[in-house]
Amino acid sequence: MITLVRKRSSAKLSLTPLIDVVFILLIFFMLESDFLRPYVMDLAQQGGGASNATTKNTPILIELHDDQSIWMNKSKHSMESIENAILELNPGVDSPVVLASDPGVPLQSAVTIIDILQRRGLLNIALTEAERFN
């Protein structure tokens, strides 16, 4: 009687191609992934405290001109000096701020000013167009 003994292959499945593919996928996702997360900031509604001149606190008027100059209460400032000027003014937390922008001023400039104001505790900020306010 002849018995056929089938020799079982001891070779293991090679993992190398799988690892290659995983590396390629890893590099792809590392390069293409974007971890930017959007956030939101509140904008005060017009007709509320900031844009309403009849409130008990006189609003702080900040004007953004199209020549990149910033005027606060009729004195000229730069983006660097405006924070110190706000500190010197020492407004109360409830003080309304009217941010009046000229046409052509990029939104980023207005948002940077809003950031500075919020850092100083001023949250009642209304964004308006300069022509409307004057």
What are the residues binding other proteins (CB under 8 A)?
15, 19, 22-23, 25-26, 29-30, 32-43, 45-48, 64, 101-112, 114-115, 118-119, 126-130, 132
As measured in angstroms, the least distance from the Cβ of 39 to other proteins is 5
CA angle (115 as vertex; 33, 78 as ends), nearest 5: 115
As measured in angstroms, the least distance from the Cβ of 63 to other proteins is 11
Beta-strand pair 60-64/70-72: antiparallel
With respect to other proteins, which residue has the nearer C-beta, 19 or 89? 19
SS3 107: helix
Partners of 73 in beta bridges: none
- Per the structure block, which two tokens stand in for 65? 């001109």
Beta-strand pair 125-129/70-72: unpaired
As measured in angstroms, the least distance from the Cβ of 127 to other proteins is 5
With respect to other proteins, which residue has the nearer C-beta, 45 or 84? 45
With respect to other proteins, which residue has the nearer C-beta, 7 or 49? 49
